[in-house]
Chains A and B, each alone.
Chain A
Amino acid sequence: MTTANNLVQGLLLGGLYALFATGLSLMFGVMRLVNLAHGDFAILAAFLALVAVDGTGVHPLLTLAVVVPAMFVLGYLLQRGVLNRTVGGDGLAPVLVTFGLSIILQNLLLELFSADSRGLDAGAVEDTSLALGRLNVGWFPLLTLLTGAAVLAGLQLLLARTRLGRALRATSDDPEAAQLVGIDHRHAFAVATGLALATVAIAGIFLGIRTTFSPALGPTRLIFAFEAVIIGGLGSLWGTLAGGMVLGVAQTLGAQVSPGWGVLTGHLVFLAVLAFRPSGLFGKPVTT
């Protein structure tokens, strides 16, 4: 029974990982840029929510209304001001610049908020659960999974149906041709980064409610997001959700065997996928 329960917990955890991974996947899809500071932006969002809660006493979920748009603007400006200079070229600059940003953000948060673990208190929603037979499904993890699915569906719709989505897809396929038909690729890139940081802000706030967080937590979040993307398969949004679930299940089942083996089991599953199915479980096979 514990195993069945852990299986469900792992699947629900996958929803949170998908929320983390969506933005990473989007930025890579649109401009082949891997943002190594992605996890640190999630933690930044969690701290922004903490400041808002401490300052005004509102419910942490309400801070989404402020923090998510703020992170969108930050992402837009970051891309326009800094990252657009790194796109194209030899591929060294994006990695170096985003890694530098990651170290800067981590240490700034450390200086501002200390290394203590903090949490966002969401009250009753954190503790209540739904009894399905003998399974206990927490409301909050369920809400996280639904939010993750909604964000993915929303993004899918945006990319497939809107003018903005067409511009993003066109820029992804061929930035120069997109420019020829009047798409400003710098703006399109900036919108993509804005959306990426908006989604990772949701992830950060949900993380802060679910568990505690500290300035040094960003890199592990980046790694989980990356593992979800690769396990699911590059370029597949729903694959990312499935990849997150595989990772979540691996971690909870691994931790059930031995507490120290949770995260490690996730890494091993990722490495196994890389060894035996490098295009991911749901991705299109790639050559090279």
Chain B
Amino acid sequence: MTTLDPDRADPTQLDGAASGAAAGPPGRVEVERATMASRAGAVVALVALVVLATAPLWARTSVLRTLIGFLTLLALASMWNLLAGYAGLVSIGQQAYIGIGAYGLYWLSDSAGLDPFASVPLAALMAAVLSVPIAVLAFRLRGGYFAIGTWVIAEALRLLIANTTQLGGGSGVTITAVSGYDRQTRLYLTYWLAFAVGVGAVALTYLLLRRRLGLALTANRDSETGARSLGVDVYRVKLVVYVVAAFGCALAGAVIYLNLLRIQPDAAFSVNWSAFMIFIVVIGGVGTIEGPIVGAVLFFVVQETLAQYGSWYLILLGLIAVAVALRARHGLWGLVAERTGISLFPVRRRLKLPAPPAAGGSR
């Protein structure tokens, strides 16, 4: 097994594997994706999944509500990780899609009379459609200016809604369409939606990265010029990721407000959502699939522990995030992976070469 340098996919290795007989050493060359650690990790993950999926059977209402918060935050963080960690798009305006998801849910269910639970994915689709023209504008800016640009767009949307009386203006709206369901059913359905969104976001990231798009993204992350020269349509790849992240954030936003029921523009479009996403991903490990999970757990622990001390938890998380961004580029998970070689979601392709015939390097 090869050593684990930061997860870089090397396209040339793949070519070697595909035409193994021509260039490679004699004997079978295998491309290996799962590792021992990842198989062990899969077992742990499966247990965690079963525990989470059956939560309505064993958890109290307050625990379920906390878990809804955790799972939706995990989804948001995974989407931000996909954007920044893999596509190099550092957005601080993803709250735009949380707000669109929330208001889309209100509009589809309370105004248009659709079933509130069915409205959740439809609201996310609306956000995905809207994200295309937004991307065209925002992609004209790069790096830090792209970050502020996305923020301005979220602010513009917040002010547009705050000035629209049909959507409740600055004081917001309440979703009443859920009153057709009794309390228990509503809570369970909301929980399972949150479960699907949280787990789905992680799974989606994993599946996307295992595909062609994943290779294109990794190539682009390591060198944009290099990726272009290999025929990667960088603009298209980034656009796809941006739209997927918009969809995911809107889905999470709709579920969050299906739980809260009261939507206010200042809260739904608050930049604090971005702060949460960024702190979770940076501390957990940007550019790793496990990072958002680790970060979200840590975020929840810190937030719950320091809840009575006002905003000190944000100051503490900010300090940790700054320190991690300066010192440990791949976050806490990166530190673990470097030392132990564990990877729960292997997206790399490793070559398993047959033993060399005589003395020589093993690789």
Chain A residues with a Cβ under 8 A of chain B: 28, 32-36, 82, 85-86, 90-101, 103-104, 107-108, 110-111, 219, 222-223, 226-227, 230, 258, 260-261, 263-264, 267-268, 270-271, 274-275, 278
Count CB-based A-B contacts (< 8 Å). 130
Q: Are B148 and A36 in contact (CB under 8 A)?
A: yes
Chain A minimum-CB-distance residue to B327: A85
* Binary A-proximity of B67-105 (CB < 8 A = 1, otherwise 0): 000000000000000001000101010000000000000
The answer to whether B314 and A107 touch across the interface, beta carbons within 8 angstroms, is yes
Stretch at the interface among B158-166, B199-207, B239-247: B158-166
Residues of B within 8 A of A (CB): 84, 88, 90, 92, 137, 140-141, 143-145, 147-149, 151-153, 155-156, 159-160, 162-163, 170, 221, 271, 275, 278-279, 282, 286, 310-312, 314-315, 318-319, 321-322, 325-326, 329
Are A104 and B322 interface neighbours, CB within 8 A? Answer: yes
How many Å lie between the Cα of A263 and that of B155 in the bound state?
9
**B311 close to A111 (CB less than 8 A):** yes
- Nearest chain-A residue to B313 (Cβ)? A107
Question: Are A264 and B156 in contact, with the CB atoms below 8 A?
Answer: yes
Determine the distance from Cα of A261 to Cα of B275 in the docked complex, in whole angstroms: 27
7 A-B residue pairs with Cβ-Cβ distance under 8 Å, sorted by A, are: A96-B278, A100-B319, A103-B275, A104-B315, A104-B318, A271-B156, A274-B140
Would B156 and A268 count as touching, CB distance under 8 A? yes
Chain A residues near B156 (CB, 8 Å)? 264, 267-268, 271
Known contacts A92-B286, A103-B275, A275-B137; A226/B318 CB under 8 A: no
Q: Pick the contact of A263 from B151, B159, B170, B279 — CB < 8 Å?
A: B159
A100 contacts B144, C-beta separation under 8 Å: no
Known contacts A111-B311, A219-B271, A274-B140, A93 near B152 by CB under 8 Å: no
- Contacts A227-B152, A261-B163 given; does A99 touch B147 at CB 8 Å: yes
Contact of A226 among B145, B322, B329 (CB under 8 A): B145
Interfacial chain A residues near B141, Cβ < 8 Å: 230, 274
Pair A222/B148 contact, Cβ less than 8 Å: yes
Residue from the list A97, A108, A230, A264 in contact with B145, Cβ < 8 A: A230
> Min CB distance, A231 to chain B, in Å?
11
Task: Kindly report which residue of chain B lies nearest to residue A234, judged by CB atoms.
Answer: B145
B314 in contact with A97 (CB, 8 Å)? no
Are B152's CB and A264's CB within 8 A? no
The majority secondary structure among interface residues of chain A is helix
Chain B, residue nearest A35 (CB): B144
Given A95-B90, A267-B159, A275-B137: A34 in contact with B145 (beta carbons within 8 A): yes
Most buried by A among B275, B312, B318: B318
Residues of B within 8 A of A271 (CB): 137, 152-153, 156
Closest 8 A-B residue pairs measured CB to CB?
A34-B144, A264-B159, A267-B156, A104-B318, A100-B322, A96-B325, A107-B311, A103-B318
Q: How far is the CB of A115 from chain B (nearest CB, A)?
A: 10
Distance A96 CA – B315 CA, assembled complex (angstroms): 14
Q: Taking CB as reference atom, which chain A residue is nearest B137?
A: A274
One of A90, A104, A222 near B319 (C-beta < 8 A): A104
**A103 and B314 contact, Cβ closer than 8 Å, known pairs A92-B286, A264-B163, A270-B152:** yes
Given the complex of chains A and B, what is the CA–CA distance between A211 and B176 in angstroms? 40
Choose among B84, B144, B221 the residue with the greatest number of A CB atoms under 10 Å from its CB: B144
Other-chain residue from A32, A35, A110 in contact with B311 (beta carbon distance below 8 A):
A110
Minimal beta-carbon separation of B322 from chain A (angstroms): 4
Inter-chain contact A95/B143, CB cutoff 8 Å:
yes
